[in-house]
Amino acid sequence: MAKVLMKGNEAIAEAAIRAGCRAFYGYPITPQNEIPNYMALHLPERGGVYLQAESEVSAINMVYGAAGCGVRVMTSSSSPGISLKAEGISYIAAAELPCVIVNVMRCGPGLGGIHPSQGDYFQAVKGGGHGDYRLIVLAPGSVQEMADLTFEAFDLADKWRNPVMVLADGLLGQMMEPVEFIDREPQMVPKPWATTGAEGRKPNIINTLDIVPESLEKRNYALAEKYARIADEETRWQEYKIEDADLIIAAYGTSARAARSAVDMAREKGMRVGLIRPISLWPFPSAPFAEAADGTRQFLVVEMSMGQLIEDVRLAVNGRGVVHFINRLGGMVPTPPEIYSKIEAILQGGEVQ
C-alpha cells in the first residue's frame, strides 16, 4: 500500500476505523480535535456510530455501554478530559471491557496549556482512577506508530478484555508524516459475555460491584494475575545503539525523537551513547534497563514532565547505575542540542547527579 501524508491525530482515527472501531464517543479538546472531526466525517459512512457527548464523563460511560455490547469502541481526549474520564476508566477496567482510549497530552496541571507535554505519565501508568487496575499504555513515537499502535490497541484490548490507552502528545498529534496502514484483518474474537439481548441464553451482566470481601479479593487477585500475564507477553521497547554504550538514554514519544538525534550527535563526537525507548509504558520494559545496569553504565532520562518516567527507570536500574535527568515543561520540547550538552556534561565533564 502507498504511503499517505497525514497528521498524527488523523492517522489514529483512520487506523481505528481500519481496526474495526464501530463507535466513537468524544468531547472536543485541543490538541486532539482532528480525531473526533475525522471520525464524525468518516465513521458513519463506514458503518460506525459517531456521537459527541455532553462531557468526557458521559463519553467514557458511553464507551462502557458500547464495549459491554461487544462492539469495538474508542474515545479520545487530552489531559484535562482524561481526568474526567478517570472514574469511567476504573469501571471499564473493573468490568474487563475492551476499548481504546487516546490521550493526546497537553501541558498541565489544571487547564495548563495546549502545547505538548508528557505530564500524564503517572496518571496513565499508575492509575489515574481509583482502585487496583492497570491500563495497557502504548506510546507512539511517530505518525506511523500512531497508526500502528492504535490498530494493535484494538486487538490487545479484545485479547485481554482490558482498556488500552494510546498515550501521545500534542506534537505527535499535530505533525504530518508519511504513513502506511497495517495491511491485515483485525483479530476479532468472540464475545459471549456481551450484553446483546438474552435471546435463548441466560442473561449476561456487566458489573463492577461485589460487596463480599472474600469474593472481591479473589476478583482483585484474578485481575492481578491477568496483569502479570500481560506483562509477560506485551512488553515492548526499542533499543538504539545500546550495546557498547557508556550512557543509555531513556525516553518515549516526542522526547525519544529528540533523544535519538542527540545520540547521533554524541556518536559523531565519539561518545558511546544509546537509547532505550519504552513503547509500552505499562507494562514497563524494566528488563532492558535491568540488563544494561551492570554497574559500568550511566543513564539519562529525558522527559517532558517533572520526573515521572525517571521513577520507573530508577526502579529498573535498582541502584546499579547513576540515573541523570533532563526535562522541559509547560509545552516546551527538549531539543537535540540541549540533550547533547547534557550528555557531554555527563561523559566529559564528569557531572554527577
Partner 1 sequence: MMRVFERPESLTEKQMHYCPGCTHGIIHRLTAEAIDQLGIREKTIGVASVGCSVFAYDYFNCDMQQAAHGRAPAVATGIKRVLPDRVVFTYQGDGDLASIGTAEIVHAAARGENITVIFVNNAIYGMTSGQMAPTTLLGQKTTTTPRGRTVHDNGYPIRMSELLATLDGAAYIERVSTHDPKHVMQAGKAIKKAFTMQLEGRGFALVEVLSTCSVNWGLSPQEALEWMRDNMVPYYPLGVFKDVTREEEQA
User: Which residue number, 21 or 251, has a Cβ lying nearer to partner 1?
Assistant: 21
Q: 18 by DSSP, 3-state: which? A: helix
Sequence letter at residue 165:
M
CA pair distance 24, 62, nearest whole angstrom: 9
On whether the CB atoms of residues 63 and 187 are closer than 8 A, the answer is no
User: Which residue number, 28 or 65, has a Cβ lying nearer to partner 1?
Assistant: 65
The set of residues, in sequence order, having a beta carbon less than 8 Å from that of 220 and lying 6+ positions away, is 132
User: Which residue number, 53 or 322, has a Cβ lying nearer to partner 1?
Assistant: 53
User: Which residue number, 25 or 325, has a Cβ lying nearer to partner 1?
Assistant: 25
**CA nearest neighbour of 167 among 124, 116, 108, 122:** 124
Q: Smallest gap, in angstroms, from Cβ of residue 105 to partner 1?
A: 24
Q: Using CB under 8 A as the criterion, which residues of the chain lie in contact with partner 1 when the complex forms?
A: 22-23, 25, 49, 51, 53-55, 57-59, 61-69, 71, 73, 87-88, 91, 195-200, 203-209
Nearest-5° Cα angle at 61, 55 to 63: 105
In DSSP terms, which residues pair with 327 in a beta bridge?
A: 303
Q: Smallest gap, in angstroms, from Cβ of residue 77 to partner 1?
A: 15
Q: Smallest gap, in angstroms, from Cβ of residue 44 to partner 1?
A: 11
CA pair distance 27, 48, nearest whole angstrom: 17
On whether the CB atoms of residues 333 and 258 are closer than 8 A, the answer is yes
Sequence letter at residue 142:
S
User: Which residue number, 60 or 251, has a Cβ lying nearer to partner 1?
Assistant: 60
Q: Smallest gap, in angstroms, from Cβ of residue 106 to partner 1?
A: 23
Q: Smallest gap, in angstroms, from Cβ of residue 150 to partner 1?
A: 20
The DSSP call for residue 201 is S
On whether the CB atoms of residues 281 and 289 are closer than 8 A, the answer is no
User: Which residue number, 57 or 175, has a Cβ lying nearer to partner 1?
Assistant: 57
Q: Smallest gap, in angstroms, from Cβ of residue 334 to partner 1?
A: 38
In DSSP terms, which residues pair with 49 in a beta bridge?
A: 23
Q: Smallest gap, in angstroms, from Cβ of residue 23 to partner 1?
A: 5
Q: Smallest gap, in angstroms, from Cβ of residue 229 to partner 1?
A: 26
C-alpha dihedral sign at 310, 146, 64, 222: negative
User: Which residue number, 206 or 329, has a Cβ lying nearer to partner 1?
Assistant: 206
User: Which residue number, 88 or 288, has a Cβ lying nearer to partner 1?
Assistant: 88
Q: How many CA atoms lie within 13 A of 182 on its CB side?
A: 25
6: how many CB neighbours lie within 10 A of its CB? 24
Q: Backbone phi, then psi, for 62, in 5-degree steps?
A: -65, -40
205: how many CB neighbours lie within 10 A of its CB? 10
